[in-house]
Amino acid sequence: MDRLIILDRDNWREFLAAPSAVLMLGKSNCDACAEWTKQLQGFLETDQEWQHVAFGKLELDRPGLGSFKKANTWLSEVDDLPFTILYIAGDRKKDFVGAGIERLVNRMNRVFGPLTENGAT
């Protein structure tokens, strides 16, 4: 089962409302985005620690995402892709430009770490 959910106009709101979520933003013609997707999928295939976190990918050049763009006005400040955001219950907590599993895990430890220490999932 692929843990990286492909998001669209019908499911992005529900995804972001998850208790813990990692959203990767990219475009369909972005080579760096495709490479980050491969790295992320490889990580998720073997990951056991972050099962309580939802992982999603949204391609900004896909049609029908006007509501996502209107709801996330900060998108106009994003100049480089891929762009990864960590959310807790819909609140944007941390983000970074580029790729890197180690960078992602470090940020997940800082943002989501207390959730696992308290026993919440």
Phi, psi of 69 (to 5 degrees): -65, -40
What per-residue confidence (pLDDT) applies to 113?
Answer: 83
Share above pLDDT 90 across residues of the chain, in percent, rounded to a whole number: 91
Q: Which residue has the higher pLDDT, 86 or 1?
A: 86
Q: Assess whether pLDDT exceeds 60 at residue 59.
A: yes
9-57 tens-digit pLDDT: 999 999 999 999 999 999 999 999 999 999 999 999 999 999 999 999 9
The class (CATH top level) of 4-117 is alpha beta
Phi-psi region of 98 (alpha: psi -120 to 50; beta: other; left: phi over 0): left
Whole-angstrom Cα distance, residue 121 to residue 119?
Answer: 6
Mean predicted confidence (pLDDT) in 68-87? 94
Q: Assess whether pLDDT exceeds 80 at residue 117.
A: no
